[in-house]
Amino acid sequence: MDCRSDIYHLVSQGYSLSDPYVMKNLYEYGYSAKEIASTINQHFDIDITIERKFIQALLNLHKDRDLENLPNSNNYWHKLNIDIAPLAIDLKDYILSDPYRSGEHASYNADTGGVWTLDSNMLFSKEWLEYLENDFSIFPGHVQLFYKNKNAQHSVAHVDVSSTGTLHGGAINWTLDLDDAEMVWYETPDYEHTGKVKTTINDQSKEWPISGLKELDRCHVGQKATLVRTDVPHTVDMGNTDRWAVSFRILTALTWQTHVTVLENYIQK
Predicted pLDDT at 201: 45
Predicted pLDDT at 197: 53
Predicted pLDDT at 205: 66
115 lies in the same domain as 151: yes
Burial class (CB in 10 A: 0-12, 13-18, 19+), 181: buried
25 lies in the same domain as 120: no
32 lies in the same domain as 126: no
106 lies in the same domain as 51: no
Domain with residue 104: its CATH number is 2.60.120
Predicted pLDDT at 241: 95
Predicted pLDDT at 171: 94
Amino acid present at 186: Y
Could you tell me the pTM of the whole model? 0.88
120 lies in the same domain as 229: yes
62 lies in the same domain as 103: no
Q: Which of 23, 50, 69 is the last residue of a domain?
A: 69
Q: Which of 53, 69, 85 is the last residue of a domain?
A: 69
Predicted pLDDT at 183: 97
49 lies in the same domain as 109: no
Q: Residue 45 sits in which domain range?
A: 3-69
Which residues of the chain fall short of a pLDDT of 70? 47, 163-164, 192-205
CA distance linking residue 148 with residue 120, whole number of Å? 21
Predicted pLDDT at 22: 94
Predicted pLDDT at 88: 93
Q: Which of 42, 69, 96 is the last residue of a domain?
A: 69
38 lies in the same domain as 83: no
CA distance linking residue 126 with residue 88, whole number of Å? 10
Predicted pLDDT at 163: 65
137 lies in the same domain as 248: yes
**Structurally, how many domains does the chain consist of?**
2
For residues 29 and 265, the answer to whether their CB atoms sit within 8 Å is no
